[in-house]
Copies of this chain bind each other. A is one copy, B any other.
């Protein structure tokens, strides 16, 4: 796989504005710093438009959503849209409560997202597909994950990332199936939130017509860094893994990612398309 943006993230240290939650804030900031980005966490309505205008990317995470934050998200998201700054949505626990479901729908109507990243349950909700989620964990369902990715991408004209043991990334036309990763990643809290933030960093240095590749590359860098960090660890060593993973996000090279990447690309069958 062609690694185009990792070195650019490290060279340009893109400012990534995160509207995030009290669980993810520290880990996301640390992970962004490790990979080479410059994080700022802020969610006051007073400064949303100003921050969106100077940031390379905006990452919106509804992990511990408060109604007061929704207004800030809308201000920041619209300002980023006006400024051409890519906006990433992490719809944490999207299907768990009516409040989250309604808020996600509201955000999807008002803001144009360059990418949406979530686990199977969250993305099934965004796609409008039936799914049995369990809190903020992925849960299980009958739909194929690749179809959920493609459905979210087409429905919301975005790059959709369905994270899990295998990641599915699609812009509705192409689909990448990414088999890298480690079972230790879902054992550390907010590892999905950090991945969304890292997607923001990569989109923040990418060409606007290359967000699909940037998202796939972000997921691949993340998963390969996880693999390297997990080497020699037992499945229960989530504490040790957390530390090693931050180290690995800083150390992993484009060469290592290119060599380890297990990414397959395919075309998405177009509904109603003539043969």
- Give residues in A with beta carbon < 8 Å to B: 13, 15, 17, 20-27, 29-30, 33-34, 38-47, 50-51, 54-55, 63-67, 93, 96-100, 134-137, 187-190, 234-240, 242-247, 250-251
Contact = CB atoms under 8 A, between A and B. Distances in A.
Given A40-B96, A236-B251, 9 more contacts: A13-B137, A21-B25, A22-B22, A25-B26, A30-B238, A39-B135, A41-B64, A46-B97, A236-B247
Contact of A41 (B22, B34, B41): B22
Given A51-B96, A64-B41, A244 B239 contact: yes
B134 A38 contact: yes
B250 A246 contact: no
Contacts of A96: 40, 47, 50-51, 54
A238 B242 CA distance: 11
A2 B241 CA distance: 31
A239 B242 contact: yes
A66 B72 CA distance: 11
Residue among A41, A98, A247 facing the most chain B CB atoms (10 A cut-off): A41
A28 to B, nearest CB: 8
A97 B26 contact: no
11 contacts: A13-B134, A13-B137, A20-B22, A30-B188, A33-B188, A33-B238, A38-B137, A42-B64, A43-B66, A50-B96, A50-B97
Given A34-B236, A42-B64, A237-B247, A26 B23 contact: yes
Nearest to A65: B44
Nearest to A42: B64
Contacts of A246: 238-239, 242
A246 B236 CA distance: 9
A99 B134 contact: no
Contacts of A42: 64-65, 93, 97
Contacts of A30: 188-189, 238-239, 242
A99 B234 CA distance: 45
